[in-house]
Structures are given as structure tokens and as C-alpha cells.
Amino acid sequence: MGQRILVVEDEAEIASYLRRGLVYEGYTVEVAFSGAAAMAAARERPPDLVILDLGLPDIDGIEVARRLRSGPPLPILMLTARDAVADRVAGLEGGADDYLTKPFAFEELLARVHVQLRRRRA
């Protein structure tokens, strides 16, 4: 079984795309469609990495990142359509280790996932 990745994404098509691609690469993937579901999943089945959207239906992604940061160390990669400099800064200062905007190339996302997991192992 591969490393666990929690994908927090409210758009079903994007979540499915991420899940398929990451499973193909050997990761175990769980998808949460809301901030509350993400918090519960992280608590019950701690992931090795979280891919987190900012625009969630219930809890803002930055708040989810802050709450996740209150637990054990966990790499967080924000993946969002918000591409303004202020949004990127807020995401990184709010707890993200990396920030990638949509649309994105899966190969780049995968490289960023590898970097975060490598840093975690070190």
C-alpha cells in the first residue's frame, strides 16, 4: 500500500481526475468534498500529505490548513483557482507548504507531491 494522500476538493470531476492519477502512481487516495469531511478524515486516517482546495462549501481552505497545522506535522499542497498574489501569500502564510493554481499540469502536481513527501521523510 502506497503513501496516503487526502484530496480535499469540492468539484467531483477534478477530485476524480486527481484520485485516478495518484492511484495510478501508487498512492492510496481518500477524497473529501468539504472542510468538515477533510478534518474528520485527517483525524481518523492520518494522511502523509493533503492536497487542499481553497474554495470549499463549508470551511475555507485556509481555515482547514490552520486546523490541520494544530495536529502532527503534515505537508499541505494548496491546489486552487485563486491565482492572485494576495491569495498565494494568504495560502502559504495560512499553513500551506506549496501552492499550485488551476488549471495545472498533472506532471507538475506529481513533482510537487514527490518533493513534499521527500521532505517529510527527511
- pLDDT band for position 121 (50/70/90)? confident
For residues 105-118, give the mean pLDDT.
Answer: 97
Q: Which domain holds residue 97?
A: 4-106
Position 1 scores a pLDDT of 58
Q: Kindly state whether residue 25 falls inside one of the protein's structural domains.
A: yes
Q: Kindly state whether residue 9 falls inside one of the protein's structural domains.
A: yes
How many independent structural domains does the chain possess?
1
Instruction: Give a three-class secondary structure readout of the chain.
Output: CCCEEEEECCCHHHHHHHHHHHHHCCCEEEEECCHHHHHHHHHHCCCCEEEECCCCCCCCHHHHHHHHHCCCCCCEEEEECCCCHHHHHHHHHCCCCEEEECCCCHHHHHHHHHHHHHHHHC
Q: Kindly state whether residue 97 falls inside one of the protein's structural domains.
A: yes
Q: Kindly state whether residue 113 falls inside one of the protein's structural domains.
A: no
Q: Kindly state whether residue 118 falls inside one of the protein's structural domains.
A: no
For residues 90-101, give the mean pLDDT.
Answer: 96
- pLDDT tens track for 16-31: 999 999 999 999 999 9
- What global pTM score does this model have? 0.96
Q: Kindly state whether residue 65 falls inside one of the protein's structural domains.
A: yes
Q: Kindly state whether residue 76 falls inside one of the protein's structural domains.
A: yes
- What average pLDDT does the structure give for the chain? 95
Q: Kindly state whether residue 85 falls inside one of the protein's structural domains.
A: yes
Check which CATH number belongs to the domain holding 94 and give it.
3.40.50.2300
